[in-house]
Chain A
Amino acid sequence: MNPVIEKVLHTLRERLGDAVEEVREFRDDVIVVVDRSAIVEAVTWLRDNEECPFPLCEDVFALDAYERIKRFEVNYHFFSIKEHVRIHLKVRVDEDDAVIPSITGVFPGAGWYERESYDMIGVEFSGHPDLRRMYMPEEFEYFPMRKDYPLMGIPGALPLPKRG
């Protein structure tokens, strides 16, 4: 593992304590699973630290693991321009309580990523300034990227104009 990222992980563990649930490495990518209560603090520190700042939020997306107990997982990708390393944060939540604090206060550009995640998977982001649907119409009731949503959709869920 890159010594710079090792130091970052060490400090992150110290600051967040038990909120860091899991750390692993896969093909030179470092993945940190954190509890949702710590995500804003973790992201703020990653952006602002002196040693190895991560000022670029490359992506935020949600996925549906379906059979896992904590079904939904939101991934955050950050890139350090100074040290040329990446770090991946993950937050896992249950279907019944799929609410995660929004990181728009730290990275305003994450706002649309979070909207897309809400639209497609149905994870809510508390504190988001404008959590509307992104692609689907406002009156659509389902979350189409969930594994239990049929490929061809639910008949009648998206109305068509009359042929006339």
Chain B
Amino acid sequence: MGLESALGEGYITTQLDALIAWGRKNSLWPMPMGLSCCAIELMSAGDPRHDISRFGMEVMRFSPRQSDVMIVAGTVTYKMAHVVRKIYDQMAEPRWVVAMGACASSGGMFRSYSVVQGIDQFLPVDVFTAGCPPRPENLFNALIELQKKVEKSSVLDYRDRKEPIIVS
């Protein structure tokens, strides 16, 4: 930010840090990386009954330049992995990744030569979500966990890659 060098870890910078983290937390714009049936549950997470906009996430951005969190919903093949990674690389920082469902988290039932056995092999994942596919409630569970993580993060170092969260 530039401020911290002038002011140090004083009252203004730390409170500003918290304010920015609060703002980030409540306006996580998802990049819907829907690759198979999990994408249907991702769509129903946006419907009026489940209503993803309660978390400030209803702005599904189909452009990676405008999104903050990539929800990888579905089976990632080796051929698709390069596309997913390219889209992730195009996202502006700060950025987060949610692996939605068994396939994205571990390859799921596709124990085969063509499916990547877990997207953490080529992406830094923040939250793994169980389910095949997970219900929208479980996706919200993952997104709330991600919000907690974002709330604790600092502007200077938003990355906290030590422990990915697993929700089930």
Q: Which residue of A lies closest to B112 (CB)?
A: A151
Residues in B neighbouring A24, C-beta threshold 8 A:
none
B121 at the interface (CB under 8 A from A): yes
* 1/0 contact string of B39-53 vs chain A (CB within 8 Å): 000000000000000
Interface size class of A (residues with CB under 8 A): 10 to 19
List CB contacts (< 8 Å) of B99-114 with chain A: 111-114
Q: How many inter-chain contacts with C-beta < 8 Å in the A-B complex?
A: 42
B111 touches A151 (CB 8 A): yes
Distance in angstroms from A62 CB to nearest chain B CB is 18
Do the beta carbons of A153 and B114 come within 8 Å of each other? yes
B91 CB–A CB distance under 8 Å? no
On chain A, the residues within 8 Å of B122 by CB distance are 160-163
Chain A contacts of B120 at CB under 8 A?
163
B85 at the interface (CB under 8 A from A): yes
Give the residues in chain B near A153, CB-CB below 8 Å: 112-114
Q: Complex formed: what's the CA distance from A144 to B114 in Å?
A: 9
Establish whether residues B121 and A136, one from each chain, have CB atoms under 8 Å apart when the complex forms.
no
Give Cα A135 to B112, complex, Å: 14
Tell me which residues across on chain B come within 8 A of A152, comparing CB atoms. 111-113
Cβ contacts A136-162/B at 8 Å (1 or 0 each)? 110000001000011111100111111
By a CB distance below 8 angstroms, the chain B residues around A158 are 78-79, 113-114
Taking CB atoms, residues of chain A closer than 8 Å to B85 are 161
Are A160 and B111 touching (Cβ within 8 A)? no
Minimal beta-carbon separation of B26 from chain A (angstroms): 29
Contacts of B65 in A (CB 8 A): none
Report yes or no: A163 in contact with B79, Cβ–Cβ below 8 A.
no
CA distance A137 to B82 in the complex (A): 11
Interface bits B64-99 vs A (CB < 8 Å: 1, else 0):
000000000000001101100110000000000000
- Chain A interface (Cβ within 8 Å of chain B)? 135-137, 144, 149-154, 157-163
* 17 CB-based A-B contacts, threshold 8 Å: A136-B79, A136-B114, A144-B113, A151-B112, A152-B111, A152-B112, A152-B113, A153-B113, A153-B114, A154-B113, A159-B78, A160-B81, A160-B116, A160-B122, A162-B122, A163-B120, A163-B123
